[in-house]
Structure 1
Amino acid sequence: MATTDETLPFFTQHYQFYANFSDLPALTFFVVGNAIAAGLLVLSLPVSIAGIICANAAGPRLFLLVLDLVLVALTTAAASAATAIVYLAHTGSDKAHWVAICIRFDGFCEQSSGALVASFIAIVILMLMVVMAALALRKC
């Protein structure tokens, strides 16, 4: 999503239309939320390794469970906010007199939709991680 931008050619260079993810706060929240989640998952690798080495230690496993729950909430909120905006970009809103921009910015909308699908797949994987972490904590 962070590389999603498109410029429509117009009659002159002074009058061009741009679509960029940073123009919409919900899409910026989506990028930042997913970046935070990815960063925390990478930083949690040493804790995961410590939990594997010390199989009886419940502390690192409980920490990972709480961290995974927070990451599920963060990525779900970010993806949901972005989904609402991308839906409006695809369909527009007659009541609010907003036109669908995907008629013109098709590359922008395709990349945005692909990023949303990938994010929802990541949310399902994070949910599976929460279940696995809870089961591992139960065995301690």
Structure 2
Amino acid sequence: MKGGALEMGSEVAKKGSAPVNKVAAVVDFFLRIVAIIATLGSAIAMGTTNETLSFFTQFIRFRAKFNDLPMFTFFVVANSIVSAYLVLSLALSIFHIMRTRAHASRILLIFFDTGMLALLTAGASAAAAIVYLAHKGNTRANWFAICQQFNSFCERISGSLIGSFGGIIIFVVLILLSAVTLSRR
């Protein structure tokens, strides 16, 4: 008798968690779309950043372009890879909406989401270090702050960092959401 009651209780718990898992899957889908917008926007903003200043005459020009610094190039590549991954992961997210009890694919998503989180964090951190130097400079190394001269350039690279760090926060939430959904099993 007790064995049957336990089985019925676990069956009711599984049915009760299905709507919660479906809501979590829908939230996961929308967070992935927001993360695509954030990372792709960051990659585009950084990848199209350049500014040219004329000094004294038209023949003397100084140029600041994102691909002059390898860290910014890495930032663009990392955000592009993460954006492409997020587009591909939408298929699994839709699958989780239809099949709330899919567990192997959730584990796979947690694994790849964690890898993409690491890549995105590395790209954003490398770019953030250079953005800091562009704004503040380093007198010990004789690196001068260039943001007083290249205002537009600095505003765009700083803005692209905001989107990328927003993507990092979304990935942390996605990983936690998937882990909580798996633990409700």
Q: Which has the higher helix share?
A: 2
Structure 1 position 136, deviation (Å): 1.4
Return the match for 2:175 from 123, 126, 130. Answer: 130
Structure 1 position 82, deviation (Å): 0.3
Whole-Å separation in 1 of the counterparts to 2:58 and 2:99: 65
Structure 1 position 125, deviation (Å): 1.0
SS in 1 for 2:47: coil
User: Structure 1 runs of 4+ off > 3 angstroms?
Assistant: none
Q: Is the 8 A contact 1:48 1:60 kept in 2?
A: no
SS in 2 for 1:99: coil
Q: Look up the match of 2:134.
A: 89
Unpaired stretches in structure 1, ≥5 consecutive residues: none
Unpaired stretches in structure 2, ≥5 consecutive residues: 1-45
Structure 1 position 55, deviation (Å): 2.1
Q: Return the TM-score normalized by structure 2.
A: 0.72
CA offsets per residue over residues 29-73 of structure 1, 9 Å max, x none?
111101100110000111112222222221111111111111111
Identity of aligned residues (%): 47
CA offsets per residue over residues 66-121 of structure 1, 9 Å max, x none?
11111111111110000000100111111101111111101000111111112111
Rg larger in structure:
2
Whole-Å separation in 1 of the counterparts to 2:82 and 2:117: 9
Q: Return the TM-score normalized by structure 1.
A: 0.94
Whole-Å separation in 2 of the counterparts to 1:136 and 1:43: 21
Output the aligned Cα RMSD. Answer: 1.1
Whole-Å separation in 2 of the counterparts to 1:133 and 1:57: 11
Whole-Å separation in 2 of the counterparts to 1:53 and 1:63: 17
Q: Look up the match of 1:79.
A: 124
Structure 1 position 129, deviation (Å): 0.5
Kindly report which structure 2 residues correspond to 1:25-104, keeping only aligned pairs within 5 A, or say none: 25-104=70-149
Whole-Å separation in 2 of the counterparts to 1:138 and 1:82: 36
Structure 1 position 128, deviation (Å): 0.4
Whole-Å separation in 2 of the counterparts to 1:138 and 1:100: 49
